[in-house]
Amino acid sequence: MKQRQSGFTLIEIMVVVVILGILAALVVPQVMSRPDQAKVTVAKGDVKAIAAALDMYKLDNHNYPSTQQGLEALVSKPSGNPPAKNWSQDGYLKRLPIDPWGNPYQYLAPGTKGAFDLYSLGADGKEGGGDMDADISNWDQ
Domain that holds residue 126: 34-137
What would the DSSP string read from start to end of the chain? -PPPP-S--HHHHHHHHHHHHHHHHHHHHHHHT-HHHHHHHHHHHHHHHHHHHHHHHHHHHSSPPPTTT-GGGGTS---SSS--TT--TT-S-SS--B-TTS-BPEEESS-SSSS-EEEE-TTTTSSS-SGGGS-EEGGG-
What is the reported pTM? Answer: 0.73
Q: Give the model confidence (pLDDT) of 47-98 as tens digits.
A: 999 999 999 999 999 999 999 999 999 999 999 899 999 999 999 999 999 9
Q: What is the CATH number of the domain that holds 52?
A: 3.30.700.10
Number of domains in the chain: 1
Q: Is residue 25 part of a domain?
A: no
Q: Is residue 119 part of a domain?
A: yes
Mean pLDDT of the chain: 86
Of the chain, the percentage scoring pLDDT greater than 70 comes to 91
- pLDDT at residue number 15: 84
- pLDDT at residue number 25: 79
Of the chain, the percentage scoring pLDDT greater than 90 comes to 47
- pLDDT at residue number 60: 93
